[in-house]
Each structure stands twice: as C-alpha cells, then as structure tokens.
C-alpha cells in the first residue's frame, strides 16, 4: 500500500514537471547501521531512495529501509520497515562534494517479539507501528557517473503511549 502511494506521488510530480523532473531523478541504495530505543538494539539494514530535484538546492526524496536488529540472537530478533518522504537541501559547493540537510516524515512498521505489546487483552499480541519525523545531515561526493553519500538521520518514532528514537548511519551509492 505504501509503495503504491509513493509511486503515485512520484508520477504526479513527474507529470507536474513535464517529465523533465523524472529525467533528472536519481536513485540510490546503501547500507545502514541503526540503533533503536524501541528494539533496544543495534542492527544492519538496507536503504533505498529516489530523489527528484525541484531546483539546484532542493529535492524531494522518497525512501524505504529494512533493518534487522539481530545482535541479541535470532529468537530475540526484531525487524523494522521504514518508509519516508524528505525534503533535501543541498548547499552549493564549487568542488565535487557537498553537504546536505534532510527532513521529513514517514511511517515505522516494527516486526518481532521485542515490539509486541503485552498489555493487549484480545488474546493476541499486537505490533504497534506509527508515524515518524526525521532531520539529518549528509555529505555527498560527485564522481563521474555516480555519487557516494554518508548521512546521519535521527528519527522520532511515535506510538500510542510512547515515543522512541531510531538513529541510522547510512552510506551508499547514488546513480
């Protein structure tokens, strides 16, 4: 469902930009290491993002991340899928490297035993997802046909009765 909404948003933005925005869109992927107060663990993950430039400094990014919090063992493992939309502000730099700031909102969908709410009395344990808000900084290095990036984007994860923090450190390639 969330992937369909992201695709529809991307298509709307492309049609509003006359197709020129889609021709300039960039796709990236990389690895992350995330710490989470909800899972009470640190784990590796895979991060994917597409971005559509609005002008030289501003871009709209749509991303998705899968993280496995497995360092406490497979039976105690927890997983999370995050989907987000971000506004990315890149500071112009005459060199092939630039600093950028990103901020936005999304949804955090946790999975696994450590996320289960034992106070639910319906006979089954519920896994509670919730909205997120993130702000982060990153650094990008422009190469010939690709770019490399590193970013830190702390995220607040809001649940019904509490909020938690997820802190991902990401690095990867932009095509």
Here the CATH number for the domain that contains residue 138 is 2.40.160.20
**pLDDT-above-90 percentage for the chain:** 59
Q: Is residue 19 part of a domain?
A: no
* Pairing label, strands 126-127, 97-112: unpaired
Q: Is residue 17 part of a domain?
A: no
Q: Is residue 11 part of a domain?
A: no
pLDDT reported for residue 157: 93
pLDDT reported for residue 24: 83
pLDDT reported for residue 19: 54
The neighbouring-strand residues paired with 165 are 156
pLDDT, one tens digit per residue, over 105-115 is 999 998 876 55
Q: Is residue 100 part of a domain?
A: yes
pLDDT, one tens digit per residue, over 79-95 is 899 999 999 999 998 89
Q: Is residue 1 part of a domain?
A: no
Question: Which residues constitute the domain of residue 89?
Answer: 26-174
Residues 48-81, buried b or exposed e (16+ Cβ, 10 A)?
ebbbbbeeeeebbbbbbbbbbbbeeeeeebbbbb
Q: Is residue 53 part of a domain?
A: yes
Q: Is residue 7 part of a domain?
A: no
- pTM (2 decimals)? 0.80
Please say if the pLDDT value at position 56 is more than 60. Answer: yes
Q: Is residue 13 part of a domain?
A: no
Q: What is the count of structural domains for the chain?
A: 1
pLDDT, one tens digit per residue, over 156-169 is 999 888 899 999 99
Question: Which residue did the predictor score with more confidence, 41 or 132?
Answer: 132
What span, in angstroms and rounded, lies between the C-alpha atoms of 142 and 154? 24
Question: Which residue did the predictor score with more confidence, 13 or 86?
Answer: 86
């Amino acid at each position: 469902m969330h992937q369909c909404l992201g695709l529809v948003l991307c298509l709307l933005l492309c049609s509003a930009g006359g197709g020129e925005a889609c021709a300039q869109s960039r796709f990236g992927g990389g690895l992350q290491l995330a710490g989470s107060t909800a899972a009470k663990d640190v784990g590796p993950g895979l991060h994917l993002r597409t971005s559509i430039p609005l002008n030289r400094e501003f871009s709209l990014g749509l991303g998705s991340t899968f993280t496995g919090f497995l360092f406490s063992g497979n039976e105690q493992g927890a997983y999370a899928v995050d989907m987000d939309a971000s506004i990315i502000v890149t500071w112009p730099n005459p060199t092939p490297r630039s600093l950028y700031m990103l901020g936005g909102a999304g949804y955090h969908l946790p999975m696994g035993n450590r996320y289960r709410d034992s106070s639910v009395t319906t006979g089954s344990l519920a896994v509670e997802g919730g909205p997120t808000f993130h702000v982060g900084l990153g650094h990008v290095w422009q190469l010939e046909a690709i770019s490399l990036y590193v970013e830190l984007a702390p995220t607040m994860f809001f649940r019904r009765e509490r909020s938690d923090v997820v802190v991902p450190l990401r690095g990867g390639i932009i095509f």
